[in-house]
Amino acid sequence: MAEPLYGWDHDVYCDMFVAEADRLADAARGADLGTEVPTCPGWTLAKLVKHVGTAHAWSAAIVRAGASDTPVAGRSLDLGLPDDPAGLPDWLAAGARRAAADLGKADPDAAAWTFGPVPHARFWSRRMLHETLVHRVDAELALGVDPKVAPEVAVDTIDELLTIVPRGGRAEDLPAYGDGETLHIHTSGGDRAGEWTITLRPAGYTWERGHAKGDAALRGGAAAVMRVLLRRQSVKAAGDAEVLGDRAVLDKWLELSAI
């Protein structure tokens, strides 16, 4: 499994997901926590904040547990939720710091259960950055705020997405993505552009980094392309993104790549 394209050290990822948790908490403070979140159907802002805080606690518990064939049961966690939902933003910010402290104590290469291809503690610091970031984007979109994401972080988000979308396991259990069609992704902005090519297979998909010509291409600013690939905005709504070639190839990928 390839190392992250533009990844940071384990401790840096820990600091980055705490910063994203603070941004999400700031967005939620003073907002109506009953606000519906259109990009997470059926969720309110309160449910979104609780979900992210729970993910932080769960990831830390998994790393503390060490090597295991099964994950820590989420129901076993003492989340310390506030009695008053208005306290959820502060609960999120404090919990992120506790989780980051626990993750930061771990050897990045220590064995840990994961649902991705990297069975080490460092999987979780990176995962929590992008989990927190995408839900911060969800919250800001729900509140009518234009989400700002640094290009290099958006590039790393896309790169991580390709490693964790379900694609392993037995061939008979994987969805039919296609018959060899290719989708090229090309981001721009900042000093850290990224390029990837996804090949849709009869069972799952494969991907590689680098420039290539695809049957379809999604290109644009890194943050806009990220929002499209994470199905947070359409190509049109994202603004700084465009599709070239066979649009059906992108649509098929988006249909099957939800996480």
28 and 140 both lie in a single domain: yes
Residue 1 lies in a domain: no
Residue 4 lies in a domain: no
Least confident range from 117-121, 130-134, 136-140, 188-192: namely: 188-192
Q: Cα torsion at 77, 113, 127, 91 (round to 10°)?
A: 10
Q: Contact, 199 vs 252, CB < 8 A? A: no
Tell me what the mean pLDDT of segment 147-164 comes to.
93
Domain that holds residue 37: 10-148
Residue 56 lies in a domain: yes
Distance CA 26, CA 21 (A): 8
Residue 167 lies in a domain: yes
Residue-wise burial string across 93-119, b where 16 or more C-beta atoms lie within 10 A, e elsewhere = bebbeebbebbbebebeeebbbebebb
221 and 117 both lie in a single domain: no
Give me the CATH number covering residue 193: 3.30.1050.10
Q: What percentage of the chain reaches a pLDDT higher than 90?
A: 79
15 and 141 both lie in a single domain: yes
Task: Give the confidence band of 134 by pLDDT, cuts at 50, 70, 90.
Answer: very high
pLDDT of residue 189: 77
- The residues that bridge with 188 in the sheet, in sequence order, are 221
Q: How many domains does the chain have?
A: 2
215 and 102 both lie in a single domain: no
Tell me what the mean pLDDT of segment 133-158 comes to.
96
At which of 119, 148, 177 does a domain end? Answer: 148
119 and 169 both lie in a single domain: no
Distance CA 141, CA 207 (A): 30
**Rg for the chain (alpha carbons), in Å?**
18
Give me the CATH number covering residue 90: 1.20.120.450
Tell me what the mean pLDDT of segment 231-248 comes to.
95
**Secondary structure of residue 29 in the 3-state scheme:** coil
Read off the tokens for 175: 């969805």
Q: Is the pTM of this model over 0.75?
A: yes
pLDDT of residue 75: 83
Distance CA 235, CA 48 (A): 24
44 and 95 both lie in a single domain: yes
Task: Give the confidence band of 1 by pLDDT, cuts at 50, 70, 90.
Answer: very low
pLDDT of residue 257: 86
Q: Contact, 207 vs 5, CB < 8 A? A: no
Q: What percentage of the chain reaches a pLDDT higher than 70?
A: 93
Q: Cα torsion at 70, 72, 75, 77 (round to 10°)?
A: 180
At which of 108, 131, 148 does a domain end? Answer: 148
Task: Give the confidence band of 172 by pLDDT, cuts at 50, 70, 90.
Answer: low
Least confident range from 73-82, 87-96, 145-154, 217-226: namely: 73-82
35 and 68 both lie in a single domain: yes
pLDDT of residue 167: 55
Distance CA 106, CA 167 (A): 28
Q: How does pLDDT run across 213-227, given as a tens digit for each residue?
A: 999 999 999 999 999
Residue 227 lies in a domain: yes
241 and 141 both lie in a single domain: no
89 and 175 both lie in a single domain: no
208 and 221 both lie in a single domain: yes
At which of 148, 178, 198 does a domain end? Answer: 148
**Secondary structure of residue 14 in the 3-state scheme:** helix
Which residues fall within 8 angstroms of residue 193, CB to CB, at 6 or more apart?
151, 155, 186, 187, 222
15 and 132 both lie in a single domain: yes
23 and 121 both lie in a single domain: yes
| Per-chain mean pLDDT for the chain | 92
Pick 142 or 77 by higher pLDDT: 142
Residue 3 lies in a domain: no
Residue 199 phi, psi dihedral angles, 5° rounding:
-110, 120
For residue 87, what is the DSSP state? Answer: G
Is the per-residue pLDDT at 3 higher than 60?
Answer: no
Residue 140 lies in a domain: yes
Q: How does pLDDT run across 48-66, given as a tens digit for each residue?
A: 999 999 999 999 999 999 9
Residue 167 phi, psi dihedral angles, 5° rounding:
-150, -5
Q: Contact, 218 vs 241, CB < 8 A? A: yes
- The residues that bridge with 235 in the sheet, in sequence order, are none
